[in-house]
Amino acid sequence: MQRRRQLLRHLRRHPLDSALSLAIVLLLAWALWATGQWVVEVADWRVVSANLPLYVSGAYPADQRWRPLVWLGLILTLTLVTLLWPRPRSGQRPGPMRVALPWLWLLMLPLGLAVLAGGAGTGLTAVSSRAWGGLVLTLLLTGASGLLALPLGVILALGRTSDLPVLRHGSRLYIDLMRAVPLIAVLFFGQLLVPLFLPVELEINRVVRAVVAFALFASAYVAEDVRGGLQSIPPTQREAAAALGLNAWQSLQLVVLPQALQIAIPALTNQAIGLLQNTSLMALLGLVELLGISRSLLANPAFIGRHLEVYVWLAALYWLLCTAMALLARRLERSVQPIPRAPGR
């Protein structure tokens, strides 16, 4: 009641105000109506519905499609469990599920690689990475390069804040160099030039090349985010650790890094989401990830001219992925032990 009165008062403050509000509401309503009408009546969604398996796993052999599906199912389950599992009350020890979750997440990547590639040791038919595509490839690219970039970035950040001049300058040079080059240039270098430098017999898989290029690029940004975290830890923390008799490695591992990384989580989430969206650049270099597979499908004479439907669908899909990642990150942020604030003096 109170709020409604407040709202009405705002609207009636001035005739121009009211007119503007009305115009904006009408405009919004019209936009919503037009979009809704397009989605329901005009758009021909067969281009999406008929090609769902391709969006999921690209040109993966049809009789093996259950493998990427199982993997995606596991990820979805894990996401839901992570988001919905009750958080331990403050002061309580986390249950076994909470302890297991991070390890399960880490396990997803090697599991995905094994399930998709198959071959010796897994009892599954081997499927070359040429046949990987769609959502599965997008997730693999993001996951693998993120997992490589994080430790690399932490090492670079530690190097940059180190007292040893060689380490410090080396890390700084690398970070500055990588940040001065556009991502697309790094990717082109990895896809087009690296194979030229290597002897003909040595062929590095191009998915691997893409992952390494993404990881090398992202690590420079991760390093700066982590450095921000490191520098926000007051020097008294190290001094206190030293006073307790911890050596340099112990103090880093037990005192400094856990706090620094926690502070860096929001910035790192940014990087992870950016990384997911950047994988779409690989469509320019012939990988059939989500965007690439869409462009191939649009060339199918049966679906020519359905650009709008495909891109709207892609936007929705990317939105869903990024939102899920953001929610997971928020969950992570809340679940790590809060830093005990120094008692105010």
Partner 1 sequence: MLKRRPLAVLLGLALLSGCATLGEGGASRLDLIRQRRSLRCGVSGKIPGFSYLQTDGSYSGLDVDLCKAFAAAFVPETGAVDYRPLTAPERFTALRTGEIDLLSRNTTMNLSRDAAGGNGLSFAPVVFHDGQGLMVTTDSGINRLEDLQGQSICVGSGTTTEQNLNDAFEARGIAYTPIKYQDLNQVVAGYLQGRCQAMTSDRSQLAAARSGFADPRRHRILEEVLSKEPLAPASVGGDQRLADAMRWVVYALITAEELGITQATVQRRYNEAKRRPELTRLRRFFGIDAGLGEKLGLNDDFVVKVIRATGHYGEIYNRNLGPQSQVPIPRGLNRLGRDGGVMVAPPFQ
Residues numbered 158-187 forming contacts with partner 1, rule: CB under 8 A:
173, 177
Residue type, 276: L
Decide: is 59 part of the binding site for partner 1 (CB under 8 A): yes
> Which CB sits closer to partner 1, 12 or 179?
179
Decide: is 190 part of the binding site for partner 1 (CB under 8 A): no
Position among 137, 158, 288, 321 found at the interface with partner 1 (CB under 8 A): 288
Tell me if 116 sits within 8 A of 179, measured CB to CB: no
Among 74, 134, 138, which Cα is nearest to 108's? 74
Stretch of 68-76, 83-91, 283-291, 308-316 contacting partner 1, by CB under 8 A: 283-291
Question: Which residues are within 8 A (CB) of 323 and not within 5 positions of it... i.e. 6 or more apart?
Answer: none
| Angle, in degrees to the nearest 10, between helices 307-335 and 66-84 | 40
57, exposed or middle or buried, with CB in 10 Å at 0-12, 13-18, 19+? Answer: buried
Chain-centre distance of CA 114, in angstroms? 21
Convert residues 240-279 into a mask of x (bound to partner 1 by CB under 8 A) and - (unbound): ----------------------------------------
C-alpha–C-alpha distance, residues 16 and 24, integer Å: 12
Position among 292, 309, 313, 321 found at the interface with partner 1 (CB under 8 A): 292
Residues numbered 24-53 forming contacts with partner 1, rule: CB under 8 A:
50-51, 53
Decide: is 212 part of the binding site for partner 1 (CB under 8 A): no
Q: How far is the CB of 294 from partner 1 (least distance, A)?
A: 10
Size of the residue set binding partner 1 (CB under 8 A): 41
Position among 123, 286, 340, 344 found at the interface with partner 1 (CB under 8 A): 286
DSSP 8-state assignment for residue 279: G
Q: Is 41 helix (H, G, I), strand (E, B) or coil?
A: helix
> Which CB sits closer to partner 1, 128 or 231?
128
Position among 109, 284, 322, 328 found at the interface with partner 1 (CB under 8 A): 284
194, exposed or middle or buried, with CB in 10 Å at 0-12, 13-18, 19+? Answer: middle
Q: Record the tokens describing residue 144, joined without a space.
A: 């693998």
Question: Which residues are within 8 A (CB) of 219 and not within 5 positions of it... i.e. 6 or more apart?
Answer: 148, 149, 152, 153, 156, 178
**Cα torsion at 54, 58, 63, 66 (round to 10°)?**
-80
Q: How far is the CB of 199 from partner 1 (least distance, A)?
A: 6
Q: Record the tokens describing residue 166, joined without a space.
A: 């060689």
> Which CB sits closer to partner 1, 58 or 229?
58
Chain-centre distance of CA 250, in angstroms? 30
The CB density around residue 234, as the number of other CB atoms within 10 Å, is 11
Q: How far is the CB of 300 from partner 1 (least distance, A)?
A: 5
> Which CB sits closer to partner 1, 54 or 261?
54
Q: How far is the CB of 170 from partner 1 (least distance, A)?
A: 12
Tell me if 326 sits within 8 A of 269, measured CB to CB: yes
Decide: is 220 part of the binding site for partner 1 (CB under 8 A): no
The H or E element spanning position 153 is helix 134-160
Position among 75, 175, 297, 321 found at the interface with partner 1 (CB under 8 A): 297
Position among 106, 208, 304, 339 found at the interface with partner 1 (CB under 8 A): 304
Q: How far is the CB of 281 from partner 1 (least distance, A)?
A: 12
Q: How far is the CB of 55 from partner 1 (least distance, A)?
A: 11
Site residues (CB under 8 A) for partner 1?
50-51, 53-54, 58-62, 128, 130, 173, 177, 188, 191-193, 195-200, 203, 206, 284-286, 288, 292-293, 295-302, 304-305
